[in-house]
Amino acid sequence: MDKNYWTTERLNRLYKDWPADRIEELKTQIKKSNWRFGYHIQTETGLLNDPNGFSYFNGQWHLFFQAFPFGGTHGLKSWTHMVSDDLVHWENVGKPMVPDTKYDRHGCYSGSAIAIDDKLFLMYTGNVWEKMNEVRHPYQDGAWMDKDNNITKLSEPLIANPPKGVTGHFRDPQVIKHGDYYYAFLGAQTTEEKGEIVAYRSTRVDGGWEFYSKLDIGNDNLGYMAECPNLLFVDGHPVLTFCPQGADKKSFKYDNVHPNAYIVADDINWETMKLINPSKMRQLDEGFDFYAAQGINAPDGRTLLTGWLGLPDTTYPTDDEGWEGGLSMVRELSLDDDKNLIQTPVAEMKSIEDGPEDTFNGMEVDKQSLIDFKINPDADNQVAITAGNTHLVFDIDSDCQKLTLHRKDVENDGHDETRSIRLNNGKIENCKLYLDNTVFELFINDGYKTMTGFFFHEGTHLNLNWTEVEEMRVTKLANLDINGSK
């Protein structure tokens, strides 16, 4: 799509004002794509970013995502609504929440959901430009969803202004209940342009919200804005995930344009809003494209999380095809004895395994495959997926403490980009690589580290080669064609 097409008017056009055939045109174009996913959530058309409103309600899992359906660019955002019985097979409800009030005119930005009796409450940021692209006014808005998935927005915002000392960068409420109160954690930027996470609270969810406190996380390296905070409990410990944009790389290493970080603590003091004995800040995922993760403490006792396959301020080759972005598989979180976060695909993912493949070096792998390998501790190991001139290569050095991922795809004009992880306290023993055509999610040592990203390959055939790997298993996975047009 010609860059000039995306005028401010088109980027902010109300959904009702787009010509009806726009979506149909995009669908026709997207059908020709070679890069669509099989079992990852993708858009039908247009752009997808953050996961929103992840919840269990009315006997189903609900997951929304930030969407701009009219093209592969960051236009006026809405919430697309997906539901699932098993966290794997997702269906589009077809009743999105779109920006159409004076409190969300320029975007229904990110937020969360909480089930209360027979309704689901959505809390989100309504983005409003007071002066286009210069002065933004964030409202924190609310909506109720009934059992038929009909969403009714509240007529007035829940929080009409940022708190004292905070700029217009104030968004992404995560609402949770503790004791007698509902708490909302929000990402904020101070007037000194520092990132911060703040808490509001109220005894009822749809009104009475008051500023409560800044969240003291024992770290002030939150850059100039902390997006998408989530306070989760994993095995009883608080785990805070957030995106500190512009965090200083000297004390917190990351290679992506913006990181998604986490901190594990022993406890949280709800009176002082202080994390007790917080860990250092760590990267939630160490691959190329993972951001704005949202997690929940699910009613079945699990802590679940999914992230946006994509990054802000980044373009992707699919933009020209009229779509962009995806959501990661849903991951279950746990902690090991040293309070490291362990992430594994939810057990339900097993249901799409189609049985083992006849596995041999050089084989063509299905676009939807699970490649499971054990590391030979006495050698340099290498596993490579190649397609034409493009490749995704995993190198594990002979002392097995370092894994380097090389990506050469059509996105960066053929040069090799790398990401690496290093273990300080052990060896890399096993890897599970979930491949979904152009998406990969790598789980190292049963989820001790993860590396997620895109691989925009050339050509339709994906071949698998390896050297020195101790054991290799390939399993075909089902193509669920979520939001697709198979």
| Catalytic residue IDs | 50
Q: How far is the CB of 214 from ligand FRU (least distance, A)?
A: 18
Query: Are residues 347 and 341 in contact, defined by beta-carbon separation less than 8 angstroms?
Result: no
Smallest distance, ligand FRU to C-beta of residue 364, A:
36
- Kindly state whether residue 245 participates in binding ligand FRU, applying the rule CB under 6 A: no
CA dihedral 224, 227, 231, 235 (to 10 degrees): -90
Query: Percent helix, strand and coil across the chain, each rounded to 5?
Result: 5, 50, 45
Q: Which is nearer to ligand FRU, 74 or 408 (CB)?
A: 74
Please check whether residue 322 is in contact with residue 26, taking contact to mean a CB–CB distance below 8 angstroms: yes
Site for ligand FRU in 96-125 (CB under 6 A): 109-110, 125
CA separation for the pair 67, 64 (Å, rounded): 9
Strands (E) in 322-367, as ranges, are 323-324, 326-327, 331-335, 341-345, 353-356, 364-365
Residue with Cβ nearer ligand FRU (36 or 136): 136
By CB under 6 A, what part of segment 376-405 binds ligand FRU? none
Q: How far apart are the first and last CA of the chain?
A: 24
For residue 366, state whether it binds ligand FRU (rule: CB under 6 A). Answer: no
Tokens for 291, please give them: 């951001």
d(C-alpha 247, C-alpha 222), whole Å = 5
# residues contacting ligand FRU (CB under 6 A):
14
Task: Please state whether beta strands 390-396 and 274-276 pair in parallel, antiparallel, or not at all (unpaired).
Answer: unpaired
The minimum distance between CB 241 and ligand FRU, in angstroms, equals 13
Taking alpha carbons only, the member of 405, 395, 406, 390 closest to residue 456 is: 390
Counting contacts by CB under 6 A, is residue 292 touching ligand FRU?
yes
Could you tell me the maximum CA-CA distance found in the chain, to the nearest angstrom?
65
Residue 227 found at the interface with ligand FRU (CB under 6 A): yes
Q: According to CB under 6 A, which one of 42, 43, 45, 49 is a site residue for ligand FRU?
A: 49
Q: Contact 428/420 with Cβ under 8 angstroms? A: no
CB nearer to ligand FRU: pick between 38 and 187: 187
Beta bridge partners of 238: 233
- Look at the block and give the residue holding tokens 């409190």: 103
> Binding ligand FRU by CB under 6 A: which of 228, 293, 375, 439?
228
- Given 42, 45, 66, 368, the residue binding ligand FRU (CB under 6 A): 66
50 binds ligand FRU (CB under 6 A): yes
Instruction: Tell me the closest approach of the beta carbon of residue 72 to ligand FRU, in angstroms.
Output: 14
Closest distance of CB 285 from ligand FRU, Å? 14
| Contact pattern for ligand FRU over residues 153 through 172, marking x by CB under 6 A | ------------------xx
The answer to whether residue 188 forms part of the interface with ligand FRU (CB under 6 A) is no
Q: How many CB atoms lie within 10 A of CB 7?
A: 9
User: Could you say whether residue 289 binds ligand FRU (CB under 6 A)?
Assistant: no
Find residue 61's DSSP bridge partners.
56, 84
Residues that bind ligand FRU (CB under 6 A): 49-50, 66, 77, 109-110, 125, 171-172, 227-228, 291-292, 312
